[in-house]
């Protein structure tokens, strides 16, 4: 009996067909991957399954042979369909127990006081179903991202032992390789217990490594469902984009540049980061790699002023950038692009034009008023130059795919003509085609007037783009890898795990 059977699923928004007659079968006890470019219909399918959107008439669905009313959140919950999204939705200041109990009824003593020992036992039982036991009294903020993902999965599991369909939406977007393997162990444990997992991901190596079956969506239609063992990365990529992928962007080795750095970072410290020095020279792309907890995830926020640093200096040319002051960083000639678009970058209630120009609207002001005609003209130029797919400059940013939203953020940064561009996991959660386009834009714009600092959990991305990569462990630089010498994805991965150069 299948964990999920969907037949003839279509969805139309204002005359635009987003899904067209999609069939999907997920077998009990399997990991079924759902892949496709941004805008292929994956997110809409998941939202219909979750009850957020109602489907067009004619679609049917069953879960373990029982009828599922698509478009009903209550029906999905009743049939043990559970969802874990990329942002996890955890309350970091609450304990593991309190997070597990969110959405559940707390056990009570005499019907009044919360029975905390019993609540902790429930939390312990839930987390144990996803792997080794961990302390349920600790706050979520004390755990690494891999453990937090486990907590989100544990919270999603039904109270009973009935099999569940667990939908994981981009669960590895911000996970380094070592933590991804921990998550895969959790997924394998879930399916071994009879649950099914529907995995949505843009990371094809991970799809090939953990899934049993893969379904490909393209332009709202299902174009293939195949056993994972029958495809490789190349053939799966062609199924996703509908053509052969052009050769990846890869920078040629640069001559040693003895010129004065554009930017100098000395003794940078904060949170888990300890005394980091980085020089950035004209036209250079420098990468930062490291496992979760290495300090890699702190670098961009400390450099750009998003968080206060404990020590160290950041200088662009002759200008010092004060700690915790993003405005001063912008004024000194720095711009940045983040991977966590929804949290830190996109203004969802604004249109595409405003999201592009908001970093500096002054250039379009005359007599204290904003000249929207000029603003639209500039936005059109960026849309054309970066290949942003949208209905127009006034399109709601929320209607764009993740890849096109990210290109809008690239436009926002580049229009400032920065001396230093800081990229914090810039292609997290976007598809392989959009990722290649963003890489091409970054490599093409790194010229004699701009330096780029990029932190990423994607070793292949760093190896493809960077002239140098600094590998962090325990808050310090443990290796510097150079293009043309020892810079490749395998060496980055080895150095991250071992803490020493390969």
Q: For residues 367-394, give the mean pLDDT.
A: 87
Q: Is the pLDDT of residue 279 over 90?
A: yes
Q: Is the pLDDT of residue 355 over 60?
A: yes
Q: Is the pLDDT of residue 295 over 90?
A: no
> Dihedral (C-alpha) 41, 47, 50, 55: value to the nearest 10 degrees?
-80
Give the pLDDT of residue 316. Answer: 93
Q: For residues 395-416, give the mean pLDDT.
A: 85
Q: Express each pLDDT in 74-99 by its tens digit.
A: 999 889 898 887 677 888 889 999 99
Give the pLDDT of residue 97. Answer: 93
Q: Which strands form 66-67's sheet, in the order they lie side by side? A: 16-27, 2-13, 60-63, 66-67
Q: Is the pLDDT of residue 454 over 90?
A: yes
Question: How does DSSP classify residue 351?
Answer: B
Is residue 56 within 8 Å of 44, Cβ to Cβ? no
Q: Is the pLDDT of residue 180 over 80?
A: no
Q: Which residue has the higher pLDDT, 448 or 172?
A: 172
Cα(431)–Cα(202) distance, integer angstroms: 5
Q: Express each pLDDT in 151-169 by its tens digit.
A: 888 888 777 677 889 898 8
Q: Express each pLDDT in 64-77 by its tens digit.
A: 999 999 999 999 98
Which contacts of 98-107 are long-range, i.e. CB under 8 A and separated by 24 or more positions? Answer: 99/140, 99/151, 99/155, 100/126, 100/127, 100/136, 100/151, 100/154, 100/155, 102/155, 103/155, 104/159
Give me 268's structure tokens. 């940078």
Q: For residues 327-331, give the mean pLDDT.
A: 92
Q: Which residue has the higher pLDDT, 342 or 124?
A: 124
Give residues with Cβ within 8 angstroms of 292, minimum separation 6. Answer: 144, 145, 146, 175, 176, 178, 179
Q: Is residue 337 packed enough to be buried (19+ CB in 10 Å), middle (13-18) or exposed (0-12)?
A: buried
Q: Is the pLDDT of residue 131 over 90?
A: no
Give the three-state DSSP class for 428.
coil
Is residue 23 within 8 Å of 29, Cβ to Cβ? no
Is residue 432 within 8 Å of 369, Cβ to Cβ? no
Ordered structural domains, the chain, with CATH: 2-241 (3.40.50.300), 263-498 (3.40.50.300)
Give me 176's structure tokens. 């380094």
pLDDT band at 369 (very low <50, low <70, confident <90, very high): confident
Q: For residues 106-112, give the mean pLDDT.
A: 84
Question: How does DSSP classify residue 81?
Answer: E
pLDDT band at 500 (very low <50, low <70, confident <90, very high): low
Give me 388's structure tokens. 């942003």
Give the pLDDT of residue 258. Answer: 63
Q: For residues 262-280, give the mean pLDDT.
A: 90
Give the pLDDT of residue 253. Answer: 61
Is residue 203 within 8 Å of 211, Cβ to Cβ? no
Cα(12)–Cα(14) distance, integer angstroms: 6
Please, what is the average pLDDT of the chain?
Answer: 85
Give the pLDDT of residue 315. Answer: 93
Is residue 262 within 8 Å of 317, Cβ to Cβ? yes
Element (H, E) at 185: helix 177-192
Give residues with Cβ within 8 angstroms of 67, minimum separation 6. Answer: 60, 61
| Strand pairing report for 451-455 and 213-218 | unpaired
Q: Which residue has the higher pLDDT, 481 or 370?
A: 481
Other CB atoms within 10 Å distance of the CB of residue 437: 22
Q: Is the pLDDT of residue 438 over 80?
A: no
Q: Which residue has the higher pLDDT, 404 or 216?
A: 216
Q: Is residue 237 packed enough to be buried (19+ CB in 10 Å), middle (13-18) or exposed (0-12)?
A: middle
pLDDT band at 400 (very low <50, low <70, confident <90, very high): confident
pLDDT above 70 as % of the chain: 91
- Phi, psi values for residue 370, rounded to 5°: -85, 125
Is residue 30 within 8 Å of 86, Cβ to Cβ? no
Q: Express each pLDDT in 378-387 by its tens digit.
A: 999 989 888 8
Give the pLDDT of residue 498. Answer: 63
Q: Express each pLDDT in 297-308 by its tens digit.
A: 889 999 999 889
pLDDT above 90 as % of the chain: 31
Cα(118)–Cα(91) distance, integer angstroms: 21
């Amino acid at each position: 009996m299948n964990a999920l059977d969907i037949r003839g699923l279509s969805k139309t928004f204002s005359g635009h067909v987003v899904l067209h007659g999609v069939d999907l079968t997920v077998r009990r006890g399997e990991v079924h991957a759902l892949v496709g470019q941004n805008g292929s219909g994956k997110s809409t399918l998941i939202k219909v399954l979750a009850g957020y959107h109602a489907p067009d008439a004619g679609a049917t669905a069953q879960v373990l042979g029982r009828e599922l009313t698509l478009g009903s959140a209550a029906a999905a919950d009743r049939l043990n369909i559970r969802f874990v999204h990329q942002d996890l939705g955890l309350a970091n200041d609450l304990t593991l127990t309190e997070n597990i109990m969110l959405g559940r009824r707390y056990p009570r003593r005499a019907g009044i006081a919360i029975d905390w020992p019993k609540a902790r036992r429930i939390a312990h039982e839930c987390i144990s179903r996803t792997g080794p036991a961990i302390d349920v009294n600790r706050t979520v903020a004390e755990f690494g991202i891999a453990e937090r993902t486990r907590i989100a999965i544990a919270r999603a599991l039904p109270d009973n032992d009935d099999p569940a369909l667990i939908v994981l939406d981009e669960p590895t977007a911000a996970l380094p390789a070592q933590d991804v393997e921990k998550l895969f162990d959790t997924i394998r444990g879930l399916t071994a217990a009879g649950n099914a997992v529907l995995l949505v991901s843009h990371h094809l190596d991970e799809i090939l490594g953990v899934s049993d079956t893969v379904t490909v969506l393209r332009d709202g239609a299902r174009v293939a469902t195949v056993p994972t063992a029958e495809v490789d990365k190349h053939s799966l990529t062609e199924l996703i984009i509908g053509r052969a992928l052009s050769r990846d962007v890869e920078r040629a080795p640069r001559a040693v540049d003895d010129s004065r750095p554009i930017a100098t970072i000395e003794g940078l410290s904060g949170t888990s980061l300890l005394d980091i020095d980085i020089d950035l020279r004209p036209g250079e792309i420098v990468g930062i790699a490291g496992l979760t907890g290495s300090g890699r995830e702190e670098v961009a926020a400390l450099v750009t002023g998003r968080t206060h640093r404990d020590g160290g200096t950041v200088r662009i040319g002759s200008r010092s950038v004060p700690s915790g002051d993003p405005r001063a960083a912008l004024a000194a000639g720095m711009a940045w692009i983040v991977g966590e678009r929804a949290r830190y970058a996109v203004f969802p209630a604004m249109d595409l034009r405003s999201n592009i120009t908001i970093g500096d609207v002054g250039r379009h002001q005359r007599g204290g008023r904003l000249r929207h005609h000029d603003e639209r003209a500039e936005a059109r130029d960026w849309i054309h130059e970066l290949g942003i797919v949208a209905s127009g400059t006034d399109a709601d940013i929320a209607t764009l795919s993740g890849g096109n939203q990210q290109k809008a953020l690239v436009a926002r940064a580049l229009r400032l003509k920065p001396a230093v561009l800081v990229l914090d996991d810039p292609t997290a959660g976007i598809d392989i085609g959009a990722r290649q386009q963003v890489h091409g834009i970054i490599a093409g714009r790194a010229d004699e007037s701009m330096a780029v600092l990029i932190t990423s959990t994607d070793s292949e991305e760093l190896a493809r783009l960077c002239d140098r990569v600094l590998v962090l462990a325990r808050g310090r630089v443990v290796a510097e890898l150079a293009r043309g010498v020892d810079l490749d994805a395998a060496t980055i991965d080895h150095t991250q795990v071992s803490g020493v150069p390969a």
